[in-house]
Amino acid sequence: MKSTTLSASVVALCAALASCTADQTPAFEETLVETPDVDETAAEIAEATAFVDRAEAELAALSKVTALAYWANQTNITDETDAAASEAGAKMTKLSVSLANESKKYDVDIMPYDVARKIRILRSGITIPAPSRAGAAEELSALMTDLNSTYGKGKFEYKGEMINLKGEMINLDEASTIIETSRNPDELKAVWEGWRTVSPPMKDKYAKMVALANEGAQELGYPTLDKMWLSNYDMPPEEMEAEVQRLWSQVEPLYEDLHCYARTKLNATYGDEVQPKTGPIRADLLGNMWAQQWSSIYDIVKPDTAPVSYDLTTRLNERGYTPVKMVETGEGFFTSLGFEPLPETFWERSMITRPEGKEVVCHASAWDLDDEEDVRIKMCTEINSEDFYTVHHELGHNFYQRAYKDQPYLYKNGAHDGFHEAIGDFVALSITPEYLEQIGLISEDEKPGPDADTALLMQTALDKIAFLPFALTVDSWRWDVLNGTTPPEDYNQAWWDLRLKNQGIVPPAPRPADAFDPGAKYHIPGNTPYLRYFLSFVMQFQFHKAACEQAGWEGPLHRCSIYGNEEVGERFNEMLEAGMSRPWPETLEKFTGTREMDASAMVEYFAPLTEYLKEQNEGQSCGWD
């Protein structure tokens, strides 16, 4: 996934302790014995309440300083901003770990709801915890900053003959453009392998970071860091892992159908020597540096049905869209639902395009620097359909952040991290032909009819369905790294074993012994948990179906747009305002009417395409074992 969110949030005595009827009143002697216990409980609750209030105040104050240091570093990578970010990160980690450790003396089972919930968030909400011993936080923060900067500054020498870049160093933006547009397999292989030369220097530092973070997690009472991450979903870690597998089982057949179809088309384009008719797909042929989304090869896999009568990238350029206008258009979608416009500071402080003369982390992200109104996005926006959708995604984070800004500090987050990622993508599902006509990007005559539905769904499936097993793979790999199942010497082999198992893809050639290919994906050196994206891709369709039902839509889900529907927007905002204050099933129920994550809406959305894929795959040897 191209985007993430970074918030400044880095992580009353009970009125009636007990009640009894007259018949239950204990004898006087028993009362004398029990009273001290009640008093002790009351005292502990009062002490814990005061502790939580202090913790929130200290974290809120320091998070503002830390967020500014991180922002300065990611929008201008220098030795000085590296040092400042590392120092700020170390302070924040120290404070978070110290408060989490301090919270362990309180028994959450006897606490009022809010106190107990906030203590649990304090204990499990640190992504990379440092041990409390002297120097550990500074060492961990320096490693994290170095990993981030190495990725952000990554360049490699490309000496291909197909483009005029001989001997020049190219960055990820330029390399990704080649992967997306080239149809020369030799060039694709060279650029794919070239980007992966930036990550081997990360491997040893990454392993050190993992060891330190696991030590920190164990100090907080978790057996390993993966279990700490999985403790953030209002259920035991083992149940959450089972929930992920249940959701994947609902959508796995969709992916297998798409894989089979795409492989047949790639074989027809490149021939048996490049892409065989059976087995896995060569990763560099799929139009994305990580083979996580395949929309860039639509020209290869487009169905033999009525085509979509417009190209969104072409239309954006023809209509004179600039990066700022793309962001303004995304904002306009949210305001059409009744949300307040973004503050003026958003436009003054965001990084919407790559600045000249600076090294930056171009990976798109949304920021909340003060937990109030200072929301921003960071993108190297280009005028194309991919970034048009990404803008809507990132603004979803910002509008979510503003919706819960009045919550206490520890509740200023999504109901779980999948909610945060799903919000903007749910809105982007309403970027339908009807919506594009409403905002003047296409004319009424250009709006495709029902006969183009297969083509429309194929475009969406290449992003949404293709992404699911990749999302599953990233954290499946990382969980095994964090719990020690995969040692450093096996990092790369384990990565490709999972990519073959889940995605049915392989590298274009054997990988060198020192390869650290996971590090070539931002979310690994950036330490961004990835399960959130898998969950969000399921939930966005669940949100979309619920919203369309609220709007009274009666057509196919893929044609529904909620643009301009303030009634839906009001219910949507109620869900967002809750932040992390309630267990996510309650928050989910506010908008969808159900307490369970469910992929059936996704299956329903793509049902017409599924029928087409099965017809096209008839007689093919699907699968890749």
Q: Average pLDDT of each block of 10 consecutive residues along the chain (625 residues)?
A: 45 29 33 56 94 96 96 96 93 92 92 96 90 92 93 85 59 93 96 97 97 94 94 93 96 97 98 97 98 96 92 94 97 97 97 94 93 94 93 95 96 94 93 94 90 94 96 96 96 98 98 97 94 95 97 94 96 96 96 96 96 96 93
- pLDDT for the residue numbered 23: 34
Domain assignment present for 495: no
Domain assignment present for 412: no
Tell me how crowded residue 243 is: count the other CB atoms within 10 A of its CB: 15
d(CA 38, CA 340): 48
270 is in an annotated binding site: no
d(CA 297, CA 181): 8
- pLDDT for the residue numbered 158: 86
H or E, element range at 170: strand 168-171
d(CA 257, CA 287): 19
For residue 282, list its beta bridge partners: 506
- pLDDT for the residue numbered 619: 94
| Active site amino acids | 394, 523
d(CA 229, CA 222): 10
Instruction: Tell me the two tokens of residue 521.
Output: 């994906």
Cβ atoms of 569 and 556 closer than 8 Å: no
530 is in an annotated binding site: no
Place of tokens 């095994």: 480
Domain assignment present for 574: no
- pLDDT for the residue numbered 40: 82
**Helix, strand, or coil here: 45?**
helix
Domain assignment present for 143: yes
Instruction: Tell me the two tokens of residue 591.
Output: 């908008």
Q: Domain span at residue 91?
A: 3-14+23-148
d(CA 66, CA 4): 18
435 is in an annotated binding site: no
Instruction: Tell me the two tokens of residue 218.
Output: 């164990």
Our count of domains for the chain comes to: 1
H or E, element range at 6: strand 3-7
Cβ atoms of 568 and 550 closer than 8 Å: yes
Single pTM value for the model: 0.88
558 is in an annotated binding site: no
- pLDDT for the residue numbered 160: 54
Domain assignment present for 194: no
Domain assignment present for 599: no
393 is in an annotated binding site: yes
**Helix, strand, or coil here: 4?**
strand
Domain assignment present for 340: no
Radius of gyration of the chain (CA): 25
Domain assignment present for 105: yes
